[in-house]
Amino acid sequence: MSLFDLTGKVALLTGASKGMGYEMALGLARHGATVVISSRTQDDLDAAAAEINKTVGAERAHSIAANIVHKDSLQALVDKTHEIAGPIDIVVGNAGVNPYYGPIAGISDEAYERTMNANVQSNLWLAKMVAPDMEAKGVGSMMFTSSIGAFKASDSLGTYGMSKLALIGLVRNLAMEFGPQGIRFNAICPGLVKTDFARALWDNPEVEKRHTLSIPLRRLGEPEDFAGIAVFLGSDASKYMTGQALTVCGGSSMWS
């Protein structure tokens, strides 16, 4: 059990008021971490933190609203986390956007820039802001949510997939650059998960059936499927793993 013990660790999560981010925060808290969860809406965050604390039977969750696409908002999030919980040991960059659905040739400059800023640039900002905490300790783990969409072309989600492939590239370079300081970086690549974010891709019985039949485990992902991977990457169980893109997809991308 000590491999997964996060007692005394501080974890900062973005995109964590619901769905995958919430379940990852809950998993980390269950294993002893103090978690600071963030998204754009404070009321949703407060409710999520209260539910985590109720579930674990301790005051381990705190909520701070922030907008990842604004650098000053992210810096305020990191600063407030320091005030509430102390230096940060684990980062889960789960927030992301997909403002455009359609052929990549049709995307506007505004939608393209928003996608790349939220899904790539913001995570670089966050990594640079938190790295000094981990450098001071000589150890730390950051994980960022990519997608199996990074591994293939798409006529409807092309820019989103591009941004997630760029995020994997960012993770690998950060892993190389910060490895000597003991900081690990990894990417989590979900398949199709039944979240509000991906609702348009699964909220139809026929569409869900078609997707399910293409997955070896014969089901779509559920948000709670991601609690374990967050605990694994945040703990000593993965202490020799860095620069990796881990697919969590029920087997749908094992041949990619």
Rg (CA), the chain: 17
Reading the block at residue 123, the tokens are: 């995570």
Reading the block at residue 153, the tokens are: 């072309």
Reading the block at residue 3, the tokens are: 């491999």
CA separation for the pair 57, 30 (Å, rounded):
9
CA separation for the pair 192, 149 (Å, rounded):
9
| Spatial CB neighbours of 152, under 8 Å, sequence gap ≥ 6 | 161, 256
| Spatial CB neighbours of 81, under 8 Å, sequence gap ≥ 6 | 10, 12, 36, 62, 64, 88
Q: Are 145 and 15 in contact (CB under 8 A)?
A: yes
Neighbours of 7 (CB within 10 A): 9
Which of 12, 23, 28 has its CA nearest to residue 86?
12
Length of the chain: 256
Longest Cα–Cα distance in the chain: 52
CA separation for the pair 42, 48 (Å, rounded):
10
How far from chain centre, in Å, is Cα 148? 14
Q: Which residues are catalytic?
A: 160
